[in-house]
């Protein structure tokens, strides 16, 4: 080997730092961009607007002369609940925490003589005067957790989950003896039923 000639391992060793720098360059660029963004805050001027408050009622339960609400703050800013209105009138209430941070939840209870089957319009008023409304079309007593309720839900679970699987297992020996055309027919029928249920569910939700 002559003087000044480099071996292949030497050239590979010299190329490793260059390849490493090329691999780290995008990450370094991202770090620099994030640092500049945090330092100069280019969108800071867009925040000088009134807070966009958004409240939602996740759950409503009815007990005799008592309504319980689960409220969530869907907005980007903290919200304070100041008043509660039911069917056009303000009512006193109790709340676990009136100050809701972003995505925070609170439980609100109101003593109200609601009537079964009649609608209840709920309006939450924040400290800034903005309102969030939720309407219950027909009030009904919320079932409690007891033996009869658990038995009903257990029976529904058996009918909806266990019975169809058991019927399918009973049909499995017959399907094994059936020809390919029969299997294809049953698969097409199943897909058609699933497609119908999907379309019906979407239509009901619109």
Residue 1 inside a domain? The answer is no
Task: Give Cα 17 to chain centroid, integer Å.
Answer: 47
The pLDDT of residue 123 is 94
Per the confidence metrics, is the pTM higher than 0.85? Answer: no
Burial class (CB in 10 A: 0-12, 13-18, 19+), 60: middle
Q: pLDDT class for 28, splitting at 50, 70, 90?
A: confident
CA atoms within 13 A on the CB side of 142: 15
Range of the domain at 200: 147-205
Number of folded domains in the chain? 3
Same domain assignment for residues 113 and 62: yes
Condensed to tens digits (0 to 9), the pLDDT of residues 87-110 reads 999 999 999 988 999 889 999 999
């Amino acid at each position: 080997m002559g003087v000044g000639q480099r071996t292949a391992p030497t050239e590979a060793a010299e190329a490793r730092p260059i390849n490493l720098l090329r691999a780290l360059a995008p990450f370094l660029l991202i770090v620099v961009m994030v640092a500049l963004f945090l330092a100069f805050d280019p969108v800071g001027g867009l925040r000088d607007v009134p807070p966009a408050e958004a409240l939602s009622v996740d759950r409503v339960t009815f007990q005799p002369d008592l309504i319980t609400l689960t409220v969530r703050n869907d907005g980007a800013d903290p919200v304070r609940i100041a008043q509660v209105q039911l069917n056009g009138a303000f009512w006193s209430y109790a709340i676990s925490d009136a100050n809701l941070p972003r995505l925070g939840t609170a439980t609100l209870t109101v003593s109200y003589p609601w009537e079964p089957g009649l609608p209840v319009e709920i309006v939450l008023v924040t400290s800034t005067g903005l309102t969030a409304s939720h309407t219950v079309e027909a009030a009904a007593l919320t079932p409690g957790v007891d033996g009869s309720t658990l038995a009903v839900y257990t029976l529904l679970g058996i009918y909806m989950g266990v019975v169809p699987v058991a019927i399918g297992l009973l049909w499995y020996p017959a399907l094994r003896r059936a020809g390919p055309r029969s299997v294809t027919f049953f698969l097409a029928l199943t897909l058609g039923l699933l497609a119908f249920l999907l379309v019906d569910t979407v239509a009901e939700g619109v």
